[in-house]
Structure 1
Amino acid sequence: MMRTLKISTYLAADLETVKSYLMTPALLNYVVAGLMKFHPIEPNFFPSKWVEGKFSVKMFAFHFLPIGKQIVGIEFPQKSDHWVLRDNGSGSIAKTWDHLIFLESEGGGTRYTDEVSIDAGLFTLPIYIYAFIFYSYRQMRWRKLVNLNFRPLNDQLIE
């Protein structure tokens, strides 16, 4: 049974800046640090900027506990009123993990919204509850990163 979750936050950075960092795969592991880690399998590296395509990853809870494989399916659907990145993914646990990220200008900042549709069979409800925690955590890390003027991520990109 499919379930859809939608969580939104305000980021005190302009849309183009948020979009620029969102397009950096290093951001993915930064915003989930402490909770998860994604390790690329095929190809065995992430591109410097996301491009459309499928990326196979291993997922680790708390950076060390293997929890399965996932396909990260990057797409850029055309929308007229906001910018969208789609991860039309699937994996060993969730057969459907269709994640949309919406960016919209709001005041001097950006409205950032995660919307994910999940189908994991009998595990859909517990995975949905986990997704609520996961995306709430990611958005908290996004806000912290913006408040630090992206310095922690900039340091990672330089190394």
Structure 2
Amino acid sequence: MKTKKIVKSSLFPANKEEIFLKLQKIETLQYIAKPFARFIPLDDNQSIKWKEGAKLSFRLYIFGFIPFGTHKIDVISFDKDSGISTLENNKHIPIWNHQIYLEPVDEGTTRYSDEVEIGASCKTPFVALWAKAFYTHRQRKWKRLLRN
């Protein structure tokens, strides 16, 4: 299947350690994704542990209310220095491979980069367009979160 790669980077007003701590919380994902997407753990009692080897499942809602099925996330690596890598998919988008990199710029600034490989057959160009807007939105929300 042909895939499309999306790359988005921003300078965040925080050090790498502070950002990495927030990356470990499900509440951070839920905040930065809203209103483009809503992630609800499939099992309400599911203890969310963002760590290498974790296999997580969520009910995904596009724009917060359009059901998009079960979204599965396999965490391949989760490391502050080498980055975060996940293999993700759902019935509409079989390939959504996500990488996050944190690169210190100075004491209080970090370059945060999202790289996403998307494969959704004939829907790939449309999904990629949505993903570009989604990751721009996420990084804008990240900056707001880090300033508060």
| 1:77–1:142 CA distance, 2 compared to 1 (3 A) | closer
Partner of residue 30, structure 1: 31
With over 3 angstroms needed to count, the CA separation of the structure-2 counterparts of 1:78 and 1:145, relative to structure 1, is closer
2:121 pairs with 1:121:
yes
SS at match of 1:56: strand
Equivalent pairs counted in the alignment come to 145
Q: Deviations over 1:1-28 (max 9, x none)?
A: 1111110000110100100101111111
Structure 1: how far apart are the matches of 2:82 and 2:146? Answer: 19
Gaps of at least 5 residues in structure 2 are none
Q: What do you get for the CA RMSD once the two structures are aligned?
A: 1.8
Normalising by structure 1, we get a TM-score of: 0.84
The TM-score, its normalising length taken from structure 2, stands at: 0.90
* Kept in 1: contact 2:50–2:78 (CA 8 A): no
Do structure 1's residue 68 and structure 2's residue 69 form an aligned pair?
Answer: yes
Kept in 2, the 8 Å contact 1:43–1:56? The answer is no
Give the ranges of 4+ consecutive aligned residues of structure 1 lying more than 3 Å apart after TM superposition: none
Q: Is the 8 A contact 1:6 1:114 kept in 2?
A: yes
Kindly state the Cα deviation for residue 77 of structure 1 after the two structures are TM-superposed: 6.2
**Uncovered stretches (5+) of structure 1, i.e. residues with no partner:** 149-159
Give the stretch that moved more between structures: 94-103 or 56-65: 56-65
d(CA) in 2 for partners of 1:17, 1:77: 15
Summarize the Cα distance change of 1:66–1:17 in structure 2 as closer, same or farther, 3 Å threshold.
same
Shift of 1:88: 0.8
State the distance in 2 between where 1:107 and 1:90 align: 35
- Compared CA separation, residues 128 and 17, structure 1 to 2 (3 A): same
Provide the secondary structure at the position in 2 that maps to 1:76. strand
Residue in 2 that maps onto 1:85: 84
